[in-house]
Amino acid sequence: MQIDKINIFKIELPFRENFSTSRTKRFSSTTIIVEIIADQGRLKGYGEGIPVKFVTGETAQTTIRNISTVTREKLFPWNLEDVTQVWHFVDSLSKGMEQNAAICALEMALLDLLGKYQQKYILDYFPQNYSTEVIYYGAQITLGDEELIFRLCRNIKRFGIRHIRIKMDKNFSQNKAALEIVARVLNGNIELRIDPNGIWDRELAFKHIPLIEKHKVRIVEEPMLKSSSGFGKFVAAMKAMGVTLMACETAPTLEAVETIIREQYYDMVNVKLCRSGGFRRSFRMIDRLRSSGISFQIGCTPGESGILSAAGRILGLLCRDASNFDGSYDQFLLKENTTFENVSFGPGGKAGALSGHGLGITVSRSQLERLCDTSSSLSIVP
pTM flag (> 0.85): yes
Instruction: Specify the amino acid at residue 114.
Output: L
* Selection from 360, 363, 338 nearest residue 351 by Cα: 360
Stated as kind and residue range, the H or E segment containing 60 is helix 60-70
Q: Where in the chain is the domain with CATH 3.20.20.120?
A: 125-352
Q: How high is the pLDDT of residue 33?
A: 98
Strands (E), the chain: 3-20, 25-38, 43-49, 134-136, 139-141, 163-167, 191-195, 219-221, 244-247, 268-272, 295-299, 350-352, 378-380
pLDDT, position 20: 72
Average pLDDT score over residue span 1-30: 89
Give the CATH fold of the 125-352 domain: TIM Barrel (3.20.20)
What CATH number is given for 3-122+362-373 in this structure? Answer: 3.30.390.10
pLDDT class for 23, splitting at 50, 70, 90? confident
pLDDT in tens, 102-140: 999 999 999 999 999 999 999 999 999 999 999 999 999
Instruction: Name the residue among 212, 203, 255, 248 with its Cα closest to residue 230.
Output: 203
User: Per-residue pLDDT tens for 314-324?
Assistant: 999 999 999 99
The rounded distance, in Å, linking the Cα atoms of 200 and 168 is: 9
Each residue's pLDDT tens digit, 323-371? 999 999 999 999 999 999 999 999 999 999 999 999 999 999 999 999 9
Predicted pLDDT of residue 19: 82
Examine the pLDDT at 80 and tell me if it is beyond 80: yes
Q: Where in the chain is the domain with CATH 3.30.390.10?
A: 3-122+362-373
Q: What is the reported pLDDT for 26?
A: 78
Per-residue pLDDT for 24 more than 90?
A: no
Residue type for position 128 = Q
**Interval 183-215: pLDDT, tens:** 999 987 899 999 999 999 999 999 999 999 999
How does pLDDT run across 163-182, given as a tens digit for each residue? 999 999 999 999 999 999 99
pLDDT more than 90, % of the chain: 94
Give residue-wise pLDDT tens across range 207-243.
999 999 999 999 999 999 999 999 999 999 999 999 9
The per-residue pLDDT for 294 is 98
